[in-house]
Amino acid sequence: MEEPEPAPASTHRTSRRRRRRDDLPVEERAEALKERVYATFTGLAIVLVQHENADHISAERATLTLLVGIVAITAAGFVADVISHLVVHGDFPRGPELGRMVRVAGSALGSASVPLILLVLAILDVFELQGALTAASIVYIVTLALIGYVAVRRSRLSWWEQVVGLGMLVLLGLAVVGLQQLAHGH
């Protein structure tokens, strides 16, 4: 595996700039994407369950439930990383490794940004809750579909293998959503 070349010497101002996603190691980007996919599936499940019960919950409650659910999956991912690091290395993560874990776990929070905005708009009576939950579900489904599509398109598979692969990803995604719905009694 090739190591990235060190950045050229720069002024103090540019050396303190925020890291762009492309500046991160490929392994960290893969881990962050994985966390985002987990959070997207979790958010979709939460939104679908709430959609079924929209007549019995308020927009405030729906928004808080989604926010807490996404924060919980983010925290769970972070704790899992810390525990696995502790088991493998015999010590708590520090410095850059801890920073990497925080960045990876935090990437999951971004998965809820648009759905949360839609639910806040329902709180403000711009949308009805049912419509906001429907729109949030669509955002989550489109997000998962785009991630799957990009993953298959970036592969080295032939066109027909890409079609089969995308079909398999869709079926697996539907199975995950179905299992999450079943777990919530719907």
Residue 13: per-residue pLDDT: 45
d(CA 41, CA 53): 19
pLDDT for residue 5: 52
pTM: 0.80
pLDDT of 18 reads 55
Summarize pLDDT for 20-68 with one digit per residue, the tens: 656 778 888 889 889 999 999 999 999 999 998 899 999 999 999 999 9
Which stretches of the chain drop beneath a pLDDT of 70?
Answer: 1-22, 184-186
pLDDT at res. 9? 47
Residue 102 corresponds to which amino acid? V
